[in-house]
Chains A and B, each alone.
Chain A
Amino acid sequence: MLRFVATLIACLTLAIPATAQQADAPIQQLLQSQSDLIVKSSRRTIGPAIDALANSGLPQAQVVMDKWQTRQMWVNTETGLFIYAEEVDRDTLRIFDFADGTEIGEVPDDGYDQLKPNSGIRGLIGTALVQFQLSDPEPDTRRRALDAIERGAEESHLAALRASLGNETDTQILARKQRLERLLTIAYGETDAERIEAIQSFEGDLGVDVRAALNPLLSARIEAADVLPTDPDIGQVLSPGSEQLSRDDAYALLVSADLAKPRISVEDQRNALIENITDGQVAGIQVATLNSQEARDMAYVALADQGTVTAVATEAEVDQRLANHVFYERYVGAPPEVVFAAQAALNAIENKVAINQMFDLSLDALSLASIYFLAAIGLAITFGVMGVINMAHGEFIMMGAYTGYVVQLFIPDYTLSIIVAIPLAFAVTFGAGVAMERLVIRWLYHRPLETLLATFGISIALQQIAKNIFGTQARPLTAPGWLDGSLVINDIVSISYIRIAIFVLALLFLALFLFVMNRTRLGLEVRAVTQNPRMAASMGINPDKINMLTFGFGSGIAGIAGVAIGLYAKVTSEMGSDYIVQSFMTVVVGGVGNIWGTLLGATMVGFLQKGIEWFNPSNTLAAQTYMILFIILFIQFRPKGIIALKGRAAEA
């Protein structure tokens, strides 16, 4: 209320600057004539308004469309005049006149409504703007025009594009223009020869845009006839009951072409029977006996014989009709020669696409494997080397991720914060691991089942504590800008940089693990203690200290893994439990006590999961279920994992 009064006063004191606007300028008059459509702002109806602007020949039309597209156009709610404006602050606008681009002044925004064209309308405006932009001196504007053509090409674009090719200076843009010109030729080329030539020039091209241009040419209509016509535009012959043409569809096609009698649905049959009940009977049959489908069929036939209802096709008739007709595709997208050229080009492309899809799937699988490996590598140390079941491993991952989140609260620079977060996450989880080992685990070394329970207790306590501190909502952990985006090899094969980073990190950890275990004094002592603690102790090694350090090291790596996983997925208090079972599986499948085994295990799990997903793309949950089942079976037949330790080491 107060705000409203304040606005009112502000309006009065500013003396309504809109009076300075040229209300009768041709561009404004054009806008006024289309005012209803523009304000209504629906893609369905906006066409005439955009056409009117684009074809007006007014010099300001481009500016209007430009401002409109970028949501800078406003309308005065009282006078209905259009202006464009910059927002000075939340409540104030600096407004400009479309007629000559002069500034009118600063006004409160209450008297103006912003026009918010949705992305459909923005696309249409972009399409209309293309003609102005293709030869614009600004390369960015030209690129925007090309974007617009890619999103919504029109026949008129082809000529405009061809005209602009000659004076293009930027080689990159030129290349894009040439490619687009060929794509547009496929769709709108004047002669078949021209189109076929364009099609053939894309032989083996993997771009989605090429397939998007070729596929519509192949569109076909299914038809039925007594004998197969010999026209050139006949495509494949279909048999009813096949995947492309179900039996019901085929018969419906015959019915709609008046080549067969209609069938009746159970529902309609019932209604027809009900309509014809007289004195508790249908065609002389007692209603009470109509409690099976056969009885109803008979009653209906009886009705049809009486002529009360129309006769319908029986199953035998349906079969006979289907057998007597031939079903085929007729190409409607393009002349036959173009279709055959497109078909040939697509066939060549499809094979290549399939190979590339396999490659992309392998990359995904590799990436998933590296994530599992990263999550499991800490466990490979604590469980694999020391034999300690740590159900709180997932919560160490979570602690690492939250450490990353907290660091980002204090260090706004994403790159720097990640550089700080990684060692800090290691330090935090190392500390937590050491504390846990000292306080709990060292009392339970010979009682693995109880370790499992105790660490599980710690796990749920840590989860709840994280909830109490950070809340239940997921927290953002944002990757630095240079990890945004993805490495695009072609339109099919691409992988995001963050996944590559995780892959590299996994390799680094593998190297670090191997180095620590095989090349350092600590590693030697760790191996000694795990193989025979008493003997190691008598050699002057302090097993307590070594156990503590090893456990801390494993936990610390989990913390770093947490930062990485948080960057690519999410940071919640429950993220740890998403990985714990899979991590244990990875270690067990690979073979306990061997880092190469863990690596193999992660690879197997990753590839297996992606493989199953590929077979059943619509249900990812099923893929996870089958993967676990497979692992259970695998362990039955190879209880010691892929790489089984032999001899004494296996007993340790």
Chain B
Amino acid sequence: MSMKFLSTTAAAALLVSTLPALAQDVSCPIKVGVLHSLSGTMAISETTLKDTMEMLVDIQNEKGGLLGCELEAVVVDPASDWPLFAEKARELLTVQEVDVIFGSWTSVSRKSALPVLEELNGLMFYPVQYEGEESSKNVFYTGAAPNQQAIPATDYFLEELGVEKFALLGTDYVYPRTTNNILEAYLQDKGIAEEDIFVNYTPFGHSDWSKIVADVVALGADGKKVGVISTINGDANIGFYKELAAAGISADDIPVVAFSVGEEELSGLDTTNLVGHLAAWNYFQTADTGANEEWVAAWKARMGEERVTNDPMEAHYIGFNMWVNAATAAGTTDVDAVRTAMYGQEFPNLTGGTAVMLPNHHLSKPVLIGEIQADGQFDIISATDPVPGDAWTDFLPESAVLTSDWKDLGCGMYNTTTSTCVQIKSNY
């Protein structure tokens, strides 16, 4: 405790005196924990992120490391087994003594690691779009909150495509459930009647889509334009899009916007019949900037020509670089000092513009809408101004009154009507 206090004051002193950051309490090498599943069901998505982290660490080492130390990636495999995320996080923090962790994909794995992070005061960067309703002192959420992906995409449906009737299709787990709850509330707010919202949940890896697609087509029977908002996860998308294509549903008749379909998912699919369907992300590989071109080239050179980049990779890219800058500014890798230095950190997005870390541990990022092209890439047809991530959604009554501000209020779940901090530690 006293060590931490000392290092925090040391960091603060360094910041004030603006001396070159050369703290004494950094032990070389600086260890970066990578907590991504390399086996089991989630390996499909997470292995890419492990490779991304290794690449980022290598790039940083080529630039001369951090605070005069080499960086070292410590990779563990939680094997898509949620309790293992807690166990491995503890191992990383206590046995390997890493300075920061980059990891997790599913919400449940994050929630599994959360108590350990808070107990041991670790620091984790979480790179995937998620359902919000959380703000932990020890986690930085570099993926999109619902208002950075789902809400803008729904606005796009309402305003640009004139959709009047919505089919919310999702895989039965937390992210789709919560996102759809928020969207239902949001759509009703926007004057869409309850009976014009059709919700369906399917299991992971679902493959028998004909009835659901037929149900969606039948929604058009009252003369309203139908749109599908898909939070279908992973492989199940393949069967879904195949069935859509077979049913001859073009994007002009019934547009589909997906929140979990990116370049990786489309690489398992022949996209000629899907041209024009949409996805909403904060990053697409086709983004036309110099930084992105460099990034894609580096990735392909390292991993192979057929590999693609995607949104969570960019989240790690931004998160890692912000962490490096924050640690440099703080002159130490001490968690509390780095966290304080993180607020207001800016780093250029790969898609142009600048991401800013907010006091609620979320990023401010632009939202992009892309149309699927025949080559499996996305054509970016709409980009918003940067949207600040909102930990607690404004569209559910219970969370509308909540806010998160770790910088000034020092609280991740602050009730603005009663002006009290509901809790400092998360209730997982």
Contacts and interface: CB of A to CB of B under 8 A. Distances in A.
A and B touch in the complex (CB under 8 A): yes
Interface of A, secondary structure class, is helix
Contact of B242 (A119, A123, A467, A568): A568
B247 A496 contact: yes
Given A42-B159, A118-B381, A121-B160, A570 B290 contact: no
Contact of A120 (B160, B210, B220): B160
Interface of B, helix, strand, loop or mixed by DSSP? mixed
A203 interface: no
Interface string B182-214: 000000000000000011111101111011101
Given A492-B218, A496-B247, A151 B252 contact: yes
B200 A496 contact: no
A211 B238 contact: no
A570 B268 contact: yes
B161 A467 contact: no
Q: Which 9 A-B pairs have the closest CB atoms?
A: A474-B268, A496-B246, A212-B223, A569-B207, A215-B222, A472-B44, A570-B238, A211-B221, A120-B160
B270 interface: yes
A371 interface: yes
Contact of B239 (A211, A464, A492, A569): A569
Contacts of A496: 210, 243, 246-247
Interface stretch (A425-433, A551-559, A594-602, A617-625): A617-625
A368 interface: yes
B162 A120 contact: yes
A486 B43 contact: no
A475 B306 CA distance: 13
A116 B379 contact: yes
A121 B214 CA distance: 27
B252 A123 contact: yes
Interface of A: 1, 42-44, 116, 118-123, 147, 151, 208, 211-213, 215-216, 357, 360-361, 364, 367-368, 371, 464, 467, 472-476, 478, 484-486, 488, 491-492, 494-499, 565, 568-572, 574, 578, 610, 613-614, 617-621, 624
A496 B160 CA distance: 31
B161 A119 contact: yes
B381 A215 contact: no
B174 to A, nearest CB: 14
Q: In the complex, which range does the number of interface residues on chain B fall in?
A: 35 or more
Contact of B246 (A368, A497, A613, A624): A497
Nearest to B369: A118
Given A119-B251, A215-B221, A495 B210 contact: yes
B208 A371 contact: yes
13 contacts: A118-B156, A118-B369, A121-B160, A212-B223, A472-B47, A491-B217, A496-B247, A498-B246, A568-B207, A569-B242, A572-B235, A614-B211, A621-B202
A119 B247 contact: no
A498 B247 CA distance: 11
B375 interface: no
Interface of B: 39, 41, 43-44, 47, 156, 159-162, 172, 198-203, 205-208, 210-212, 214-215, 217-218, 220-224, 235, 238-239, 242-243, 245-248, 251-253, 255, 264-265, 267-270, 273, 276, 290, 369, 371, 379, 381-382
A476 B211 contact: no
Contacts of A475: 268
B246 A621 contact: no
A563 to B, nearest CB: 15
A620 B200 contact: yes
A610 to B, nearest CB: 7
A618 B168 CA distance: 10
A367 B209 CA distance: 11
Contacts of A368: 208
B202 A574 contact: no
Nearest to B417: A271
A557 to B, nearest CB: 20
Given A116-B379, A361-B211, A619-B201, A478 B160 contact: no
Nearest to A478: B270
Contacts of A574: 41, 205, 235
A1 B205 contact: no
B96 to A, nearest CB: 25
